[in-house]
Amino acid sequence: MTDPGERLRTSLAADQAVGAEFDSPIAAEAMRATRVLHAADQDPFPRPGRIRVITVANQKGGVGKTTSTVNLGVALAMYGLRTLVIDLDPQGNTSTALGVEHTVGTPSIYDALVSDATLAEVTHPTTASPNLHCVPATIDLAGAEIELVSVVAREHRLRRSIEGYLDELPPEERPHYVLIDCPPSLGLLTLNALVAGDEVLIPIQCEYYALEGLGQLLSNIDLVRAHLNPGISVSTILLTMYDGRTKLADQVADEVRNHFGELVLTAVIPRNVRVSEAPGYGQSVLTYDPGSRGSTSYVEAARELAARGAQLAPASPPPPPPAQPRTAAQPAVRPAVRPVPPPPPPPPAVAALVLGESVAGPAAGGRHAP
């Protein structure tokens, strides 16, 4: 039997060694990675009160729309929530980041918007999680804004597609979350996403011009609410690319919080090189480097998003079916999961007003079908 003093010293040394091991940056990162990858079993996110269709929009380019859609989508899915990500940007960055094929000819969102493919026919599984599916965008989508101009109910194409998809699925397979990644413009694609969504998530980059142009986005959302989708509202603001070394980042974050109050998530996404490297490997940062600060902050943001979703009231029952027979182009009954009452038909000028000059000519010219 060793002497008690010796045993105490040995035990203290062992404790210190363990402490030192977990104090090292690598060990701490490994622990964080383990939490991200395995916590889903012990710590799943709560289910939302109803299916949430969230449009991720900001007409400013490069603010983190795609990065946020991808990483929030992966986080929600890894933590147990069925999630569908729709890539509505012809650049196809969301599809790339999720490792989903999006070469010309791949069934994509273009086929659902312009041809009459169902969303189920263009939905692909992802390797990130069995809970995560993606509707990719091919470069064909670049022409869709022009092609849609003459299509019946062109602003409602995506909404109808999503509703048809939800309607067809048995309840236990319906996604809890549908995230739509918008292009950096306020054209017909973004308009479709605003008509399709119930909520808008606006990523705001913590830099000097962050709030510029935001007024235009907000007034477009107001117009859409007034004329095309009474259920839409801005529910979430996410601060992205926060650089803690600069005062400017804090000033912008404060300004955004003062302006938008509780809409702003407490979690802030830091500027982190692993976040920008991940898409190059067809991955989210959660799978590429789960222990990185980029990954853990997206998990925190998704956790907050899910916690807010859990507070939502369940969808009210669908309205009684109207007398007219249902057509494929115009579902008569909205599924119970989408409680917003059908919007009044827009006056022809509204789409042109929302879209600005991009397609205003043809819309104002009366080619917009009822």
Where do contacts with Mg ion occur on this chain (CB under 5 A)?
A: 65-66, 93
Which residues between 180 and 209 bind ligand ATP (CB under 6 A)? 184
Q: 87: which residues sit within 8 A by CB, 6+ positions away?
A: 93, 94, 95, 102, 108, 109, 134, 135, 136, 137, 181
Q: Which of 55, 83, 93, 108 contacts ligand ATP by CB under 6 A?
A: 93
Q: How far apart are CA 206 and CA 245, in angstroms?
A: 12
State the nearest-atom distance from the C-beta of 279 to Mg ion, in Å: 10
For residues 50-75, one letter each, b for 16 or more C-beta atoms within 10 angstroms of the residue's C-beta and e for the rest, the string is bbbbbbbbbbbeebbbbbbbbbbbbb
Measured between its terminal Cα atoms, the distance across the chain in Å is: 92
- Is residue 101 within 8 A of residue 124, CB to CB? The reply is yes
Residue 241 site contact among ligand ATP, Mg ion, none (CB < 5 to 8 Å, cut-off depends on kind):
ligand ATP
Residue number with CB closer to ligand ATP (213 or 230): 213
State the nearest-atom distance from the C-beta of 70 to ligand ATP, in Å: 8
Q: How far apart are CA 152 and CA 345, in angstroms?
A: 12
Q: How far apart are CA 87 and CA 78, in angstroms?
A: 19
Give the x-and-dash track for 250-289 against ligand ATP (CB under 6 A). -------------------x-xx--xx-------------
Residue 166 site contact among Mg ion, ligand ATP, none (CB < 5 to 8 Å, cut-off depends on kind):
none
Q: Which two tokens stand for residue 132?
A: 């995560």
Q: How far apart are CA 278 and CA 270, in angstroms?
A: 15
State the nearest-atom distance from the C-beta of 65 to Mg ion, in Å: 5
Q: Does 130 bind ligand ATP (CB under 6 A)?
A: no
Give the x-and-dash track for 142-181 against ligand ATP (CB under 6 A). ----------------------------------------
Residue number with CB closer to ligand ATP (204 or 350): 204
- Is residue 293 within 8 A of residue 270, CB to CB? The reply is yes
Q: Which of 112, 189, 200, 241 contacts ligand ATP by CB under 6 A?
A: 241
Q: Does 66 bind ligand ATP (CB under 6 A)?
A: yes
State the nearest-atom distance from the C-beta of 234 to Mg ion, in Å: 19
Q: Where are the alpha helices (DSSP H) in the chain?
A: 4-23, 25-42, 65-78, 93-97, 109-113, 144-148, 157-168, 188-196, 214-227, 247-260, 273-277, 285-288, 293-310, 348-355, 360-362
Residue 102 site contact among Mg ion, ligand ATP, none (CB < 5 to 8 Å, cut-off depends on kind):
none
- The residues that bridge with 135 in the sheet, in sequence order, are 86
Residue 175 site contact among ligand ATP, Mg ion, none (CB < 5 to 8 Å, cut-off depends on kind):
none
Chain-centroid distance of CA 329 in Å reads 26
**Within 10 Å of residue 17's Cβ, how many Cβ atoms?**
9
Residue number with CB closer to ligand ATP (136 or 294): 294
Size of the site for ligand ATP (CB under 6 A): 18
Q: Does 244 bind ligand ATP (CB under 6 A)?
A: no
Q: Which of 19, 44, 62, 322 contacts ligand ATP by CB under 6 A?
A: 62
List interacting residues with ligand ATP (CB under 6 A).
61-67, 89, 93, 184, 240-241, 269, 271-272, 275-276, 294
